[in-house]
Structure 1
Amino acid sequence: MKVVSLVPSITEALFDLGLTENEVVGRTKFCIHPEEMVKNVPVIGGTKNINIDKIKALQPDIILANKEENVKEQVEALMDDFKVIVTNVENIEDNYYLLKNLGKIFNLEEKAQHFNLKIYEILNQTKINSAIKVAYLIWKNPYMTVGSDTFIHKILFEIGFENIFKDKTRYPQIIVEDLAEAEIIMLSSEPFPFKEKHIEELKEFYPEKKIMIVDGEAFSWYGTHIAKCGDYFKEMIAEIDFLNTNLH
């Protein structure tokens, strides 16, 4: 079965479940994991600007898309000629069914279940000691954060953080003053590549706050990715718990 994936985290999941570059025949330029496998798969554009002619030339049996990552009109144009499955992953339950369905489609149900159990195990074992108010920034100029109907918010919640923008939806624009309530400000490594200098900029406003760069993939990549983030989450939480004990 020939598959084109228009979603980076789904491309990673397909390879994790056991598909090879003989089956995954097309990907976006943002599909970067697993590196040694994806380098052999033809690129069909970006997530928001796919090359429909290139996809047609590959003649896939299935195209995997995502409601948030891909452009509706482009996906609909592909539906005329191909079987397109549009995913929508907003929480851990959605993610469970995404993997379950991928397992069903490719006869890899046992492997999918293994990843699902691993994800639940990581999220159940990884909790901070007491709820901490956080702001999670994904963009700069303007600053943008995450509302309650996002996958990132759900991961923060699962680990025990309280998103100070939980009354907002999607990815609202904010100003520095809006961050006053946060005990910790998280700067995501993607889509905007926050660096140390951006921590310094925010420290001018909030010298007393903990401001940290976090691995954006660990919070925003659904599919199988969280199953590999156990150590990362544990280390991050240990650092935060240590700080918290010393702060209070």
Structure 2
Amino acid sequence: MFMRLMRLALAAFFLVFLLPLGAHALMWMTHEHPQSWSRADWTSSGLLPAPVADSPAVIHIYAARTGRWKGAVAHHTWLVVKEAGAAPYERYDKVGWGSPVRRDGWAADGRWYGNMPELVAAIEGEAAAALLPAVRAAIADYPFREQGHYRVWPGPNSNSFVAHVIARVPQLGVALPPTALGKDYHVEMVYAGFAPSGTGFQFALGGLFGITLAWVEGLEINLFGLVAGLDLRRPALKLPGFGRLALV
């Protein structure tokens, strides 16, 4: 009986985690990608309009594939905020060099390592204005903001930073892409509590293993940082490498 269960578990791991990851990696390798940081395009993607006098307050979350081979597996995520009116956009990333929490290191809607960003969440107008103080406070109290407080895998990394802000401000109602590796990394080695959205629960072990069941995040199973699952609110599959695949 035990051996049968083990074989079923290994088959499920191969079909749900390794097979999609390998398939996406093969697809990724068929496209050309910048071979160095200096050769990549970091310019504005044109997604954000220039601020004018009647521009609303903004809280946006963006994601773009990471550079070189890592792009087959993971996205980099960042925050963009703006006060109402002609105030400039402010971009916040966590990076692995210099001061980890970087403000305005790149254009607010800039490409990441040449990869086009996608809008993960947009809160605008009065709702954004009401949440901006809490978002700024969450950015300021991020615990891993000193030099050396960065680890590509399993975290804390760029996605751990954005997930921290979302968890501190659950009114944002945001679920990061399943390919935001590091999003399930917590200060505590063993975490059991609310999911970042506050709409369900999460158990996580060092960012390497875990399960999330929540209305916003859906069902997510984390194995070694790779996430697979199902979104019932907006029907979709969540697969390693591919990320979120809408069913409708």
Pair in the same fold by TM > 0.5: no
**Bigger Rg, which one:** 1
Name whichever structure is richer in helix by fraction: 1
